[in-house]
């Protein structure tokens, strides 16, 4: 479960779990994947717009973990580029889930920070991922691409 709470109430166990899921798992998966990739390979991570802006209190550690993915992608692009492998990070805005419903008080607060005043959709995120996976994006690497409207 996602831990959202003030920095002074955030336990080290919650911190470790957040980084294990949001950073370490991506690192381990990336490291395993590149062992089998050839030129033209694509790595596409899914991050969060919260890496660049956090619209509510209690999300500092989550935001920091998503920001770590930005650094991993930018740095890894230098390692993988000479091998013809690209690595990018798609950063969606909020998407309706059981944890983050698109209706209600919390949703209305989030929508105030989104220019199109609605949540992202799975199809919109998938469209960007499909583009990054395709041959026409072979020059794009080390990018952190937001799918939401400026907030």
CA 18 to chain centre: 13
CA distance 24 to 36: 19
Q: Which of 62, 119, 131, 139 is catalytic?
A: 62
CA distance 95 to 9: 27
**Residue that the structure tokens 């220019």 belong to:** 115
What three-state secondary structure class fits 128? helix
| Residue 62 annotated as catalytic | yes
CA 109 to chain centre: 21
Which residues are catalytically annotated?
62
């Amino acid at each position: 479960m996602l831990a959202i709470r003030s920095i002074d109430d955030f336990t080290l166990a919650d911190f470790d779990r957040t980084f294990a899921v949001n950073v370490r798992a991506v690192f381990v998966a990336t490291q395993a994947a590149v062992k089998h990739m050839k030129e033209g390979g694509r790595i596409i991570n899914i991050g969060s717009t919260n890496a660049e802006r956090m619209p509510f209190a209690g999300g500092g550690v989550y935001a920091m973990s998503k920001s770590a993915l930005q650094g991993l992608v930018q740095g890894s692009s230098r390692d993988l580029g000479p091998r013809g492998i690209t690595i990018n990070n798609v950063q969606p805005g909020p998407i309706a889930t059981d944890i983050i419903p698109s209706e209600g008080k919390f949703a209305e607060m989030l929508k105030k920070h989104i220019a199109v005043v609605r949540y992202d959709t799975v199809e919109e995120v998938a469209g960007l991922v499909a583009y990054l996976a395709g041959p026409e994006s072979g020059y794009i690497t080390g990018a952190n691409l937001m799918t939401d409207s400026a907030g």
